[in-house]
Chain A
Amino acid sequence: MGVVRENLDRVARRYRALPGPARVALVVLLVVLVYLLPLLRPPIITTNQIDFGGVMFAIAAFALVAVGLNVVIGYAGLLDLGYVGFYAVGAYTTGVLTSYHAHWAFFLALPVAIAVTMVTGVLLGWPTLRVRGDYLAIVTLGFGEIIRIAVTNVEWVGAARGIKDIPHPPNIGPDPEPPFGDGGLFTIPSLQWDGIVPSLDSGRETTFLVFGAVSAVPYYWLVLSFLILILFADRLIKDSRVGRAWEATREDEDAAEHMGVPTFKFKLLAFALGAAVGGLSGSLYASSQSGYINPQSFPLLLSILFVAAVIVGGAGNRWGAIIGGTLVAYLPERFREFADFRLLVFGLALMILPVYRSQGLLPPRRTIRARAAAEEIEHLEGRDEAPTEVV
């Protein structure tokens, strides 16, 4: 396939050729590097005019959402245009439990938020997953809107005012005393670059480990940690019987059903798991830097961007989802100097991408193999062109 793929494959081959301990060391090094990225502030990729830590948080959150939605769209083949609804349910459950009606600790509210979102997913999926694919798209879109309008208008969840003062995750070390006491165990300065010469920037410090309002980096670390956890879980489940059942269902639902796969059950499972990850990211978002959510944060457009992230990356590939999420969250912030033209360029990019990479940037291996096989069959049958071209 493409250059990207070939190079990745080559990298993967070299990686596999390494002895075991070296592989572990390499992975650890890479992960550490990713964790430190907002402090290293490498030139070129660091955003200006907007805090790089905040952008990295947004990227990690988007990647997490994309990995969750990838289960629904990529694995199970269900087009969900209302994913923001789950995100909102997670965020609002957290807000209600920790601030608006009760004062639970964040890590107590988090599992409840995930569970509530999962139940919401089952409740929505139970009746609607029986309808055909494209109908599902509009039903989920409607669901996202229903959630948004409901939280805008129901006083019990703060209506248009939203929910304020959602507590942050617990700190490690002494609590800070704003506006002057820093708290935490120690502070980590970040780097600033003059060309390629780094130096310490004392103005941008991150306190380990204080979830305050001043630095977004701890939140980034938290989301990144969850992302890594979810990736492990995703890998386990994808390679299990469940993953194969999803694949069978996606490729040919009737055939899968005939082979004894309870397709409805597996679709519902994918829907619920996807919802749970959406709820997790929503919950993390609610307790992030500002500790403030309001209905405006959950527009329909966000659902569309989520879907775009998954498909741009390559539906069905978890790394593709991460790349897609990263691009969708990062590019508009990196190129802020285009200000007014950001969305226009984004739209054009979305139009151009499918023409050149019709499977997304990083399609799953099996899709590539399947496509190659299909092309071979067509070739053998002597039909090189699409039916539409035969006039």
Chain B
Amino acid sequence: MNFSFLVNHIVELSITGLALGAIYALIALGYTMVYGVLQLINFAHSEVFMYGTFAVAWVFVFVHGTTSVNQTLGGTAGLLLLSLLAAMAMSAAIAMLLERVAYRPLLKRKAPRLMALISAIGASFALSELMGLRDRVVGWVGLRDDLDNYVSKARDVYTNPVTIQPQTVFTVGGYGVKDVDIMVIVASLLMMVALDQFVRRTRFGRGIRAVAQDPESAALMGVNATRVIRGTFILGGIMAGAAATLYMVKIGSTRQNAGFIFGVKAFTAAVLGGIGNLRGALLGGLVLGVAENYGAAIFGTQWKDVVAFVLLILILLVRPSGILGESLGKARA
């Protein structure tokens, strides 16, 4: 146990923790919204995120080739925006596919909720494996050589050739705060405010809330539940795409199984904040990210996941429905 280390480096640990937590929060939104509307754990949401990270890397490889270079954040701003769009499109498309293939047939048949979980687990395996076998898949359509830069060593780690070199913007308590961390935190906050406002103010958002509160009454009031559910998946996908872009800015490498750990963490964040609650997801993500860093500082990095889960259990004991504990349906406009 090393509390003095934590105290001495609290600024650095907090800021890097917040940056990580902001990414958790963006992914958590996808879990929380689907849960709010369907009361289902979308186990495959981690793969939605993972596909987004690949979209980002592919855009960079397409423009830059595979030689690794260093760049500043400002120097790649244009390309980052482009890859943000690509990642959002990719993740939204995967989320939509997921809804269509893994969920809608089950909802139609009124399958038990556990079965939907199995379907999602299956989809998660299938999506992750498909990414890990992408070299074979493109081989079947005869594009293996043309796409070599994108698919070779499909199970191995895949890296954005452009390393974004963080610059110190200002110094607080002896720690030079990096532009990348600030960008990640601010960007995710913006995304979340936008989503929050969207759900609160637009007609479609009202539909989401209505279905979340009471699907039958919503249907009677003329809300097209199928459309609302699809829209919810797509919105979650867009957020996951944004998370994927920020992740690639900060970490730079991804892999076909990269989604799993982040998915588990994001889901934890969603429950921590109160599942079905958008602001709860934000709070849960940030708390989780910071707690992990503090825990790593005090107990050693190998214990950081334990810290995260113990924190979750403790909070659920005190507040059985999460920190903010409000459901999506009750989010008032």
A interface residues (Cβ-Cβ under 8 A, vs B): 73, 79, 127-128, 130-132, 134-135, 137-139, 141-143, 145-146, 149-150, 152-153, 300, 304, 307-308, 311-312, 315, 340-341, 343-344, 346-355, 358-360, 386-391
| Identity of the chain A residue whose Cβ is nearest the Cβ of B214 in the assembled complex | A387
Contacts of A343 in B (CB 8 A): 125, 128-129
In the complex, A143→B305 CA distance in Å? 11
**Interface core residue of A139, A387, A391 (most chain B CB under 10 Å):** A387
Given known contacts A145-B305, A146-B306, A149-B302, is B122 in contact with A135 (CB within 8 Å)?
no
26 interchain pairs, CB-CB under 8 A:
A128-B317, A135-B275, A135-B320, A141-B264, A142-B268, A142-B309, A142-B313, A145-B306, A146-B306, A146-B309, A149-B303, A150-B306, A152-B302, A153-B300, A304-B121, A307-B118, A308-B121, A346-B125, A347-B129, A351-B101, A352-B122, A353-B118, A354-B106, A355-B105, A387-B216, A388-B107
**Shortest distance between the CB of B24 and any CB in chain A (Å):** 14
In the complex, A130→B122 CA distance in Å? 29
Q: How many inter-chain residue pairs (CB < 8 Å) link A and B? A: 161
Is B133 interfacial (CB-CB < 8 Å)? yes
In the complex, A391→B39 CA distance in Å? 20
Which residue of the partner chain, among A146, A304, A341, A358, contacts B109 with CB atoms under 8 Å?
Answer: A358
Q: Is the interface of A mostly helix, strand, loop or mixed?
A: helix
Tell me whether A340 and B136 are in contact (CB under 8 A). Answer: yes
| Identity of the chain B residue whose Cβ is nearest the Cβ of A150 in the assembled complex | B306
Contacts of A142 in B (CB 8 A): 268, 308-310, 312-313
Given known contacts A308-B121, A347-B125, is B115 in contact with A358 (CB within 8 Å)?
yes
**Shortest distance between the CB of A270 and any CB in chain B (Å):** 16
In the complex, A87→B216 CA distance in Å? 42
Contacts of B260 in A (CB 8 A): 300
Query: B195-239 vs A: 1/0 string, CB under 8 Å?
Result: 000000000000000000001100110101110010000000000
| Identity of the chain A residue whose Cβ is nearest the Cβ of B122 in the assembled complex | A350
**Shortest distance between the CB of B208 and any CB in chain A (Å):** 14
Which residue of the partner chain, among B102, B118, B310, contacts A308 with CB atoms under 8 Å?
Answer: B118
Contacts of A311 in B (CB 8 A): 114-115, 117-118
How many residues from B make CB contacts under 8 Å with A?
61
Contacts of A128 in B (CB 8 A): 313, 316-317
The 6 A-B pairs at the shortest CB distance, nearest first, are namely A350-B122, A347-B125, A142-B309, A347-B126, A358-B111, A344-B129
Given known contacts A139-B316, A141-B264, A386-B107, is B114 in contact with A79 (CB within 8 Å)?
yes
Beyond A134-B275, A146-B305, A304-B121, list 12 extra A-B contacts (CB 8 Å). A128-B316, A130-B320, A135-B322, A137-B41, A149-B303, A153-B302, A347-B126, A350-B119, A351-B101, A351-B123, A354-B116, A355-B111
In the complex, A378→B123 CA distance in Å? 31
Given known contacts A141-B264, A354-B111, A387-B225, is B126 in contact with A348 (CB within 8 Å)?
yes
Contacts of A389 in B (CB 8 A): 108, 226
Is B78 interfacial (CB-CB < 8 Å)? no
Tell me whether B114 and A351 are in contact (CB under 8 A). Answer: no
Contacts of A359 in B (CB 8 A): 111-112, 115
Is B110 interfacial (CB-CB < 8 Å)? yes
Tell me whether B133 and A344 are in contact (CB under 8 A). Answer: yes
| Identity of the chain B residue whose Cβ is nearest the Cβ of A388 in the assembled complex | B225
Contacts of A137 in B (CB 8 A): 41
In the complex, A389→B226 CA distance in Å? 7
Tell me whether B109 and A355 are in contact (CB under 8 A). Answer: yes
Which residue of the partner chain, among A135, A145, A308, A354, contacts B316 with CB atoms under 8 Å?
Answer: A135
| Identity of the chain B residue whose Cβ is nearest the Cβ of A141 in the assembled complex | B264
